[in-house]
């Protein structure tokens, strides 16, 4: 076994690899860019090497610097994580040529699976089900239309080197095939430097289901069940689970055996994933093979109890797999939510900045010990179920604009799918993130959606259900009045503290009444007013009309997370004070409430609403980011839809266009400047 390895990555995956290495007694070397000088993975590792400036093309993507860091520190092996150089055939070969072990598949396996056209031919030869299509590079849009007609619409036009949703179009007629081919090829050329495009049949109501495989240098290859990854937004996975609620045992076995056959065809050694698209009739077709560890690997670890990073290390060190196919268990159900620094209420725009508060839910599992939650004789989960958080951040740390938006991965294991969903909803309720926006409200809404709960979804689920974007009113809740009751109970606690202050003037001390009004903040001053009665004995009782809430909670002043009982049922919520208002969050729903006397409520009703300043004359930055281009100059006339500026953040470019015709008056920000959200970029005359 190695005594020292280098992790050629950053963020949560670097921290994840370090945890397993430490458990195995292996020293670790971290690499970092100038933006990551204070990052969590740097502090966790035994040594750290600076690679260079913040942009990944000048640091994490420079193979020479990674190899030099290995030589300088004496690292015997490199774990590439995922992304960056993890599927770079040239990097894997150069590492091996330098006498350093690449903790992953051999470079020839990466090469065989890295080209989508070549990999499909190889899959076909290995008798793996492939989608009907044209697997040769297509030269012209006219040829693309002819091939699309022969295959039969709808078809999918894909770039050979594509990925992450880039270089992909769906065409349903000749016009879309013609235009889609041209735009797909241009996008592929610009993004990957490879403009080869092919066409295949588009599977209706498709599911994205993948098989985890594991191979060693002795020809032993197994599959570790499947992962359901159909909940995607713009081809990026949002929620993953294992096993899939859709496929049958027969389909699972057939997919697993085909994945193993493909891995065997390329002499696969390490952890890898074979991705399939599965139709509504459970017909399945090979999509691609990811020759690396996947982001969603923890759900497989949770249902099998197998540490995939440990297996990668052991295989790379020349060991045999310690189990056979028959010995791989499948216990319970696991779900993973990707917690991203993005604002779901602003079109999922990236949200960078400092993590003012970061408090993940209590954990009963961890990355290096992915043992599923244990069960008692009645089948109940012990110790509150299995909760795990994989992260590369910490409270007070910075979410930089240069890399992806992931804050953490939240993984929950339960005895069955409904248990796992319930556990995930509670874990999300207890996940405190402040300073940057997160997609937790969106995750909570997805988990509560009837179609998701029923397992009735496909890769188009988010686009179909939230086609117009995600709004606060899209968050379902069984009982919104519960949040009002929580606000009332918290306010009562504040009043009790005020009443207990010593030295109050006799006859003028704080007197706590019982009858109040809760104002719930609404848009443009249109608040909702709810009369309540609040009594405090052993529990706090809040009466709202015919409803009664008996509440106990461990919530503390100045804290945020609250665990407690409501009418005997456990809950987790978040409560915090902002001036006179209390902000309460539960199951993705957030309210701001103020508790007051009936007279104060009457006065608040007649208070005039002060509208925000009119900013329509300004172009505002919709997100924090780098202003990489300004396409206009003062005095220039622009038409509606014309390009004005480009902002870059978290690997994403956002092109800002004119909302209406006008004339540019003044530039208020310069090219290369870092912008805050809603910062003015230019003004119109």
Q: For the ranges 94-108, 284-298, 341-355, which has the lowest average pLDDT?
A: 341-355
Rounded to a whole number of angstroms, the distance between the first and last alpha carbons of the chain is 69
- Report if residue 472 sits inside a domain: no
Q: Examine the domain organization and report whether 122 and 158 are in the same domain.
A: no
The verdict on residue 416 lying in a domain is yes
Kindly report which listed range (90-99, 132-141, 487-496) carries the lowest average pLDDT score. 132-141
pLDDT band at 136, cuts 50/70/90? confident
Q: CA 113 to CA 119: how far, in whole Å? A: 5
Give dist(CA 170, CA 153) in Å, integer.
9
Same domain, 297 and 395: no
**Same domain flag for 167 and 212:** no
Do 118 and 146 share a domain, yes or no?
no
Mean pLDDT to the nearest integer, 35-58: 95
pLDDT band at 521 (very low <50, low <70, confident <90, very high): very high
SS3 of residue 353 by DSSP: strand
pLDDT at 401: 85
pLDDT grade for 328, boundaries at 50, 70 and 90 = very high
Judge whether 222 lies within some domain.
yes
Q: How confident is the model at residue 379 (pLDDT cuts 50, 70, 90)?
A: low
Are 389 and 427 found together in one domain? yes
Within this chain, do residues 256 and 119 fall inside the same structural domain, yes or no? Answer: yes
214 by DSSP, 3-state: which? strand
User: What would the pLDDT profile of 404-424 be if each residue is shown by its tens digit?
Assistant: 889 999 999 998 999 999 999
CATH number of the domain residue 301 falls in: 3.30.470.20
Q: What is the pTM of this model?
A: 0.87
169-222 tens-digit pLDDT: 999 999 999 999 988 888 888 777 888 888 988 888 899 999 999 999 999 999
Same-domain pairing of 45 and 181: no
3-state class (DSSP) for residue 61: coil
What mean pLDDT comes out for the span 27-34?
A: 98
Give me the sign of the Cα torsion angle 577, 581, 582, 587.
Answer: negative
- pLDDT, position 377: 58
According to the model, what pLDDT value does residue 393 have? 96
Angstrom distances, CA of residue 477 to CA of 281, 444, 472, 583: 33, 10, 11, 16
Whether 596 has a pLDDT exceeding 60, the answer reads yes
User: Can you tell me the distance from the alpha carbon of 276 to that of 269, in angstroms, rounded to the nearest whole number?
Assistant: 20
Q: Is residue 612 part of a domain?
A: no
- Give yes or no: residues 114 and 246 share one domain: yes
Domain that includes residue 321, residue range? 104-131+207-330
Helix ranges (H only) for 209-330 are: 249-265, 297-304, 308-316
Q: Looking at the domain assignment, is residue 466 inside a domain?
A: no
Residues 308 and 251 in one domain: yes
Query: Where do we find the tokens 């009418």?
Result: 567
Q: What CATH number did the domain enclosing 70 receive?
A: 3.40.50.20
Q: Are residues 137 and 75 in the same domain?
A: no
- Whether residues 522 and 388 fall in one domain: no
Closest by CA position to 598, among listed 507, 680, 517, 492: 517
CATH number at residue 532: 3.30.700.30
What's the pLDDT tens digit per position in 466-500?
Answer: 988 998 888 889 999 999 999 999 999 999 999 98
Residue 330 predicted with pLDDT over 60: yes
Which of 330, 354, 384 delimits the end of a domain? 330
pLDDT at 373 over 80: no
Looking at per-residue pLDDT, the higher value among 377 and 83 belongs to: 83
The answer to whether position 407 is within a domain reads yes
- b/e 378-414 (16+ beta carbons within 10 angstroms → b): eeebeeebbbbbbbbbeeebbbbbbbbbbbbbbbbbb
| 21 CB burial (10 A radius; 0-12, 13-18, 19+) | buried
Domain count, the chain: 6
**Residues involved in catalysis:** 288
Q: Can you tell me the distance from the alpha carbon of 216 to that of 319, in angstroms, rounded to the nearest whole number?
A: 7
- The residue out of 549, 570, 605 marking a domain boundary is 605
Looking only at the bridges linking them, the beta strands covering 4-7 and 27-33 are parallel
More confident residue, 204 or 269: 269
Is 336 among the domain residues?
no
Residue 277: inside a domain = yes
**Predicted local confidence at residue 384, as pLDDT:** 43
Q: Give the highest mean pLDDT range of 112-121, 469-478, 627-636.
A: 627-636
Listed in sequence order, the residues at least 6 apart from 219 whose beta carbon sits closer than 8 Å to its beta carbon are 264
Cα–Cα–Cα angle for 541, 543, 549, rounded to 5 degrees: 50
Please give the pLDDT value at position 338: 97
Mean pLDDT for the chain overall: 92
Same domain membership, residue 250 and residue 108:
yes
Residue 576: HSE in the Cβ half-sphere, 13 Å Cα cutoff: 12
Last residue of a domain, one of 146, 166, 201: 201
pLDDT over 60 (residue 569)? yes
Which comes out higher in pLDDT, residue 65 or 625? 65
The more confident residue out of 534 and 653 is: 534
pLDDT confidence bin for 368, thresholds 50/70/90: low
Q: Which CATH number fits the domain that encloses residue 624?
A: 2.40.50.100
């Amino acid at each position: 076994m190695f005594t020292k390895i280098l992790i050629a990555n950053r963020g949560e995956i670097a921290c994840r690899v370090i945890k397993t290495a430490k458990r195995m007694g292996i020293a670790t070397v971290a690499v970092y860019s100038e933006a990551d000088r204070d990052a969590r993975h740097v502090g966790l590792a035994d040594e750290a090497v600076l690679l260079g400036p913040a942009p990944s093309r000048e640091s994490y993507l420079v193979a020479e610097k990674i190899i030099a860091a290995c030589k300088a520190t004496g690292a015997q092996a490199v774990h590439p994580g995922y992304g960056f150089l993890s599927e770079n055939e040239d990097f894997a070969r150069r590492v091996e040529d330098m006498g350093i072990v690449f903790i992953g598949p051999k470079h020839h396996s990466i090469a065989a699976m890295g080209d989508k056209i070549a990999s499909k031919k190889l899959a076909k030869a290995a008798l793996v089900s492939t989608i009907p299509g044209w697997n040769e590079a297509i030269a012209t849009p006219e040829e693309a239309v002819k091939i699309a007609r022969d295959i039969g619409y709808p078809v999918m036009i894909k770039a050979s080197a594509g990925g992450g949703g880039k270089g992909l179009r769906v065409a349903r007629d000749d016009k879309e095939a013609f235009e889609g081919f041209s735009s797909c090829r241009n996008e592929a050329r610009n993004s990957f430097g490879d403009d080869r495009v092919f066409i295949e049949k588009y599977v209706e109501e498709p599911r994205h289901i993948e098989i985890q495989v594991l191979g060693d240098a002795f020809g032993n290859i197994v599959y570790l069940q499947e992962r359901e990854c159909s909940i995607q937004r713009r081809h990026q996975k949002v929620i993953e689970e294992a096993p899939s609620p859709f496929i049958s045992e027969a389909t699972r076995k057939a997919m697993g055996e085909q994945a193993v056959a493909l891995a065997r065809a390329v002499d696969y050694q390490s952890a890898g994933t074979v991705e399939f698209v599965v139709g509504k009739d459970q017909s399945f077709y090979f999509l691609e093979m990811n020759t690396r560890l996947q982001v969603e690997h923890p759900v497989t670890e949770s249902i099998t109890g197998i540490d995939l990073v440990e297996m990668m290390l052991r295989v790379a060190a020349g060991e045999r797999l310690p189990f056979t196919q028959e010995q791989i268990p499948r216990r319970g159900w696991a779900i993973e939510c990707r917690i991203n620094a993005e604002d779901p209420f602003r079109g999922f725009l990236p949200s960078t900045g400092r993590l003012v508060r970061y408090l993940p839910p209590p954990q009963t599992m961890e990355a290096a010990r992915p043992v599923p939650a244990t069960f008692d004789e009645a089948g109940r989960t012990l110790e509150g179920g299995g909760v795990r958080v994989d992260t590369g951040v910490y409270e007070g740390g910075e979410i930089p604009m240069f890399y992806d938006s992931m804050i953490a991965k939240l993984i929950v294991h339960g005895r069955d799918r409904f248990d796992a969903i319930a556990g995930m909803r509670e874990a999300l309720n207890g996940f405190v993130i402040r300073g940057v926006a997160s997609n937790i409200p969106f995750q909570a809404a997805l988990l509560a959606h009837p179609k998701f709960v029923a397992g009735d979804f496909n890769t188009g689920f988010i686009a179909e259900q939230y086609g117009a974007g995600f709004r606060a009113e899209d968050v379902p809740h069984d009982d919104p009045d519960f949040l009002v009751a929580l606000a009332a109970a918290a306010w009562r606690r504040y009043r009790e503290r005020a009443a207990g202050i010593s030295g109050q003037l006799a006859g003028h001390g704080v007197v706590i009444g019982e009858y109040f009004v809760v104002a719930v903040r609404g848009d443009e001053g249109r608040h909702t007013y709810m009369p309540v009665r609040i009594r405090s004995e052993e529990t706090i009782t809040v009466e709202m009309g015919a409803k009664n809430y008996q509440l106990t909670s461990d919530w503390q002043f100045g804290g945020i997370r609250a665990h407690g009982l409501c009418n005997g049922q456990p809950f987790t919520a978040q409560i915090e004070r902002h001036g006179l208002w209390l902000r309460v969050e539960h199951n993705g729903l957030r309210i701001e409430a103020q508790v007051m006397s009936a007279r104060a409520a009457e006065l608040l009703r007649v208070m005039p609403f002060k509208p925000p300043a009119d900013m329509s004359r300004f172009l505002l930055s919709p997100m924090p980011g780098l202003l990489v281009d300004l396409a206009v100059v003062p005095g220039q006339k622009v038409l509606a839809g014309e390009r004005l500026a480009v902002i870059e953040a978290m690997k994403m470019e956002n092109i800002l266009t004119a909302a209406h015709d006008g004339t540019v008056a003044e530039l208020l920000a310069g090219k290369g400047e870092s912008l805050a959200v809603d910062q003015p970029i230019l003004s119109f005359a």
